[in-house]
Amino acid sequence: MLETEELWEENVRRVTPYTPGEQPQQKNIIKLNTNENPYPPAPGVREAMQEMDIDLLRRYPEPYGDPLRKALAEETGVEPEELFLGVGSDEVLALAFLTFFHGEKPVLFPDITYSFYDVWAELYRIPYRQISLNEDFQISKEDYIFPSEGKDGIGGIVLANPNAPTGVELNPETLEEIIAAHPEVVVIVDEAYVDFGATSVQPLLKKYNQLLIVRTFSKSRSMAGLRLGYAIGNKKLIKYLYDVKFSFNSYTINQPTIILGQAVLRDRPYFEKTVRQIEETREKSASRLESLGFKVFKSKTNFLFVTHPKLDIPDLFEWLKKRGIFVRHFNKPERIRPFLRISIGTEEEMEALFTNIKEYIIGKEK
């Protein structure tokens, strides 16, 4: 029986929410489904937490997240006024959509990309057009440089680089051509995974005032649970972003985040060591998967996007899950249904994954 709709429901803003990867609560599982870092936060984080002055919690935090913003400015080589801090890059992106995409013209992004972009566009009623990636999950730059709406016909561009969930990197020259072609709209480049061997477009900030780069502490810095992300951009862009944010919630960056975020930044060698380890495990894992017959896309991230010509991928996904190994499978869009996105875990976790995949394959061959 269908429930009848109540009168007040007519006035509700109805949306289909983003579906995050599962966060199963049982212990002893191998979690390769949400691109978290398999290594713990930098050792200094524990110390900073233990030494935190609890009385600080009595007060509201500094509204810009200083002194964390200053420390991050030093780390990234920009002015503090060129930085915006948010509760994960999801919040930064959500506020950037709200701030910069305010017109009748469609915002462009690929059909296969971070599946939150269309959710925000729907939420804010921003028109958008999703452009198909080619067979190799690459973008064709002409689609963005010469959009079918015409040069004056678009409201913005959003590109994740490297892209998710494919892991594929777009070269910085191509990105620059796209950014240079559209001085009249904001171009957002989501660099959630840039630390895992990709090239940042940060040098382009000097040339293009309409470029906004978004990054996160969730992946390369092992701090998904803290919820800290940031944007880098021209001071004017950042000011507009803060104006919207301060019209919504002044105190988003809480006191523990300000303290722990700085502790993360203090240990650069740990950051570099863990990132390098993940890259090494990624390359090894890619070869092993290929030797099992998988097609593996060249990744510059902490995950691999794979398919197999002979295996029933949704079935393999469920089978692994029953054995406590969680990877990510997307039902939408249709053409990525035969793919799995596998986050890079520790060497031991990847070993367990391969053992299980081999067992699955042997079981099917019988």
Ligand X SMILES: *Cc1c(COP(=O)(O)O)cnc(C)c1O
Contact set with ligand X (CB under 6 A): 35, 88-90, 114, 160, 164, 190, 192, 216, 218, 224, 229
When CB distances to ligand X are compared, the closest residue is 88
Kindly tell me which of 98 and 311 has the beta carbon lying closer to ligand X.
98
Looking at the DSSP bridge assignments, the partners of residue 131 are 110
Closer CB to ligand X, 73 or 223, in the complex: 223
Closer residue to ligand X in complex, CB, 216/281:
216
Closer CB to ligand X, 64 or 117, in the complex: 117
Q: For residue 150, give every residue at least 6 positions away whose Cβ sits within 8 Å of its Cβ, in sequence order, or none.
A: none
Shortest spacing between CB 192 and ligand X, in angstroms:
4
| Least CB distance to ligand X at residue 363 (A) | 32
| Choice between 192 and 238, CB closer to ligand X | 192
Q: Which amino acid is at 136?
A: D
Q: Which strands sit side by side in the sheet containing 303-307, from one edge to the other? A: 295-296, 303-307, 339-343
In whole angstroms, the minimum distance from the beta carbon of 88 to ligand X comes to: 3
CB of 35 to ligand X, least distance (A): 6
Minimum CB distance to ligand X smaller for 163 or for 210:
163
Name the residue nearer to ligand X (CB basis): 216 or 262: 216
From the CB of 194, what's the least distance to ligand X, in Å? 10
Minimum gap (Å) between residue 229 Cβ and ligand X? 4
CB of 328 to ligand X, least distance (A): 11
Q: Which is nearer to ligand X, 32 or 192 (CB)?
A: 192
Distance CA 71, CA 59 (A): 21
The nearer residue to ligand X, 96 or 320, going by C-beta atoms, is 96
Shortest CB 90 distance to ligand X, Å: 3
Minimum CB distance to ligand X, residue 30 (Å)? 19
Cα separation, 365 vs 55, in Å, equals 63
SS3 letters across the chain: CCCCCCHHHHHCCCCCCCCCCCCCCCCCCEECCCCCCCCCCCHHHHHHHHCCCHHHHHCCCCCCCCCHHHHHHHHHCCCHHHEEEECHHHHHHHHHHHHHCCCCCCEEEECCCCCCHHHHHHHHCCCEEEECCCCCCCCCHHHHHCCCCCHHHCCEEEEECCCCCCCCCCCHHHHHHHHHCCCCCCEEEECCCCCCCCCCCHHHHHCCCCEEEEEECCCCCCCCCCCCEEEEECHHHHHHHHHHHHCCCCCCCCHHHHHHHHHHHHCHHHHHHHHHHHHHHHHHHHHHHHHCCCEECCCCCCEEEEECCCCCHHHHHHHHHHCCEECECCCCCHHHCCEEEEECCCHHHHHHHHHHHHHHHHHHHC
Question: In terms of Cα–Cα distance, which of 227, 266, 221, 216 is closest to 44?
Answer: 266
CB of 54 to ligand X, least distance (A): 26
Residue 64 near residue 218 (C-beta atoms within 8 A): no
Q: Which is nearer to ligand X, 146 or 248 (CB)?
A: 248
